[in-house]
Amino acid sequence: MKLIFPVLIITIGFLLYPLINGIVLSFYDARLGTTAMRFVGLANYYQLSTQTTFIAALRNSFAWVVLVVGTSFAIAFSVALLLARNFPGRGICRGLVVVPWVVPNVVAALSWRWIFEEKYGILNYILASLGLISRPINWLGDPFWAFIAAIIVGIWKATPVMTVILLAGLQSLSRELFEAASIDGANALQKFWYITLPQMRSTILILITLETIWNFNTFDIIWVLTRGGPANTTHVLATLTYQQAFQLFNLGSAASIGVVMFVILLLMTFVYFKLLKREV
């Protein structure tokens, strides 16, 4: 008990108390900088349901997860299949593929801001040089392109770790099955569909579930790139929570958004453990 007690204190102090306090705060009209609090019940949640900014942020959060995780997985699986083969320079390529992952998110987002710069950014220069655009794209100033730009950075950051995990899974597959399939005359597509995918099933399910949970919490990339703009069109739930708390000083509203996020993540975590239990 003496050994467990310090861990319990840390857990209660840094996890349980903020969680409980945030849930309680969501039922109050609380403002940053003042100790005055007024109980409003479910009013904060009702206001969220009528706010177009919150609805858009909720939609963006799910769109972000689907597009970033889905696209990253497709790219990562393709790259992992390539890196699993023997070819000259494979070791160097395996090292280079993890470079985006080791770059801190804030540093990556700041670098991409320069790349997306409308007048002097290298991306518009390349697209114009290839004749793909006739005039520069306002990547971070247009509501549509700003969200696309954030998704590009999200994919760039998420792909390396997915590639490494998928590559590790591919290298653990039984080679005897592939050799037997070759003897039976199976082609590459048949081997992939009937051997690779079934054996990678548990790895794929767990990886996608974890990436979904991680990306649903994304804050720094979007905040550094767009700060939720232009006109609040690129907010996700995490950035909207920050804006409500530290720019608009509405702690009650921020806490209610946090509770919504907590419930969604709790459901995702439940799905993850169900999948983990079934696959192990």
Give me the mean pLDDT over the 7-28 stretch. 83
Residue with tokens 């080791």: 102
Identify the pLDDT of residue 1: 58
pLDDT for the residue numbered 197: 86
* DSSP element (H, E) containing 28: strand 28-30
- Rank 20-24, 33-37, 223-227 by mean pLDDT and report only the highest: 223-227
pTM: 0.89
Residue pair 160/99 in contact by the 8 Å Cβ criterion: yes
Any idea what DSSP says for residue 86? Answer: -
Average pLDDT rounded to a whole number, residues 248-258: 92
Domain count, the chain: 1
pLDDT digits (tens, 9 = 90+) for 127-143: 999 998 889 999 999 99
Long-range contacts of 84-91 (CB under 8 A, 24+ apart): 84/167, 84/170, 84/171
The answer to whether the CB of 157 falls within 8 A of the CB of 221 is yes
Task: Write down the pLDDT at residue 185.
Answer: 81
Output the domain CATH number for residue 261.
Answer: 1.10.3720.10
pLDDT tens-digit series, residues 145-170? 999 999 999 999 999 999 999 999 88
Write down the pLDDT at residue 128: 92
Question: 171 is in which domain, residue-wise?
Answer: 4-279
Query: 7 pLDDT exceeds 90?
Result: no
